[in-house]
Chain A
């Protein structure tokens, strides 16, 4: 059974479509990373899972229950670290966890849960005096109460220092070890890369890619950026000839003594040979493999009119080219 199933889900607010025709399945026991820039619709999707907002169309099923009609059953088995939440200023940390225990109608020791997230010392303090990171830990503690089958974490490491983010990651992995499905959103790739089995990339309310980290890496490794150092300025005719080679997407000057060539990995030799054949003396060349980061940025920064069609895009020359151009934009300071 799938832990999360979104089928053709659209959510329109008054003047904006936050999520558009989203279909996504997260299997039980999976750690699924939900990536996308701020405002891509990640939180809206999570809010749909929790019945905070209701879909304009489409169906949302969580742990086999309809997210709208059987929301309490969903939340009974789900631990949530929401985004943009706040704590009850006048209640202590312990009172917060006690509230979670009472709401979930389980037997648990608040102090043990607080110790797990590193808040044992602050248990008796009013949460209004907590720092952002402590509030985040407190919400995680509330989420962990009752050994949930599903953890939904919306930007879990926001407000945490690097050590805190690492602890958060460890707790997520521990929970996954127990068999809990983890669904978490982030706009930072590294966090997702470190723990996720699969990722989905959301851009402007649409799912543009779903794949395993390895799958995404394979897709990104297929392309390379070649930096060729030459002895003198290369004229436009030669540039055009290189650009015309099979497997080459873009060619640009990088100053007067170097070229940047975006091409498939197997086209690298052809590029160098072509340059030498045309009388350009190549003094050096380096290959920069596109990182996962580039790919992520390429997916999320692509032009509005580009068609979004997942990682299978490698056979679509135009998409790849655009993806690459975008990656380079961020890589090369001008």
Chain B
């Protein structure tokens, strides 16, 4: 197993990329700047605690906004751009012939790339959080490390998930151009379209059930399906898990649901949280977003002629 050699090479290579330097700077300015704005300017000394920014969720019913959600969007983009070319670029330049003429199996290559590129994204993230940490200290903000530290770890996992997604697209694509387009398309789905799709599917199921004479689905079932599908989106999985670090689980599950969904789900969740809405189940979904894409990517890459 020489995946370590590949990971090492990937890390050394990617860490020198100017694109990554730019992304890291942007990320650091984004979260460090937000922290400086919130805790240095907007919030009075009494309200200076980490949860007021990193646990900031605003739900207007039809439109919800949260700082972790925004963080996820930015990080997802950085992670995808770090990994989506990792195989196609090597194929196009021919450097993959060096990589695979050495005794590295294709599994070594894929795992090494996952680990190496993830490490690069995590470094970028840690730089950002370090700048934030300094800002927090400078503004005398209460750190709430019990929530903040797990939040950083959770954010790192999200970064790895998006590295894995980008890597699999890179393995599946025939050219770098194709990988780039697919990545952009998928990002659009995650960031914009997923919500509408997951709201549409229960309606479609309901319509189908009515048409075949099985009667209509109960409102609770429809909402459950819709919200469950919503949380399959890694961005949303992350968002609701982040919320749980600052709020109780039943409240965290509702942070980005519409008012109608809240009205239906609140009593259900208050009674008991079904396992498929539980924190650990959502955590497994996030882990699946790391494992499944890279496995699919390996499956494709293993079969491909270079």
Contacts and interface: CB of A to CB of B under 8 A. Distances in A.
Interface residues of A, number: 34
Contacts of A91: 9, 12-13, 16
Interface string A14-55: 000000000000000000000000000000000100111110
Nearest to A92: B12
A180 to B, nearest CB: 16
B101 interface: yes
Contact of B95 (A72, A75, A88, A105): A88
Contacts, number: 86
B103 interface: yes
Contacts of A265: none
Contacts of B100: 50-52, 75
Interface residues of B, number: 23
Interface string B264-306: 0000000000000000000000000000000000000000011
Contact of A103 (B12, B93, B102, B306): B102
B196 interface: no
B101 A82 contact: yes
A274 interface: no
Contacts of A95: 9, 12
B225 interface: no
Given A85-B95, A86-B93, A88-B13, A100 B102 contact: yes
B206 interface: no
Contacts of B94: 82, 84-86
A87 B102 contact: no
B97 A52 contact: yes
B98 A52 contact: no
A103 B104 contact: yes
Given A103-B2, A104-B102, A142-B102, A82 B9 contact: no
A124 to B, nearest CB: 14
A73 B103 CA distance: 7
Nearest to B101: A80
Contact of B306 (A52, A76, A83, A96): A52
23 contacts: A13-B305, A50-B100, A52-B306, A53-B305, A73-B103, A75-B101, A75-B103, A80-B101, A82-B94, A84-B94, A85-B97, A87-B95, A88-B9, A88-B95, A90-B12, A90-B13, A91-B12, A96-B98, A99-B102, A100-B102, A103-B104, A105-B103, A142-B98
Given A91-B9, A99-B9, A104-B103, 7 more contacts: A53-B306, A71-B105, A82-B97, A85-B98, A88-B95, A104-B102, A142-B98
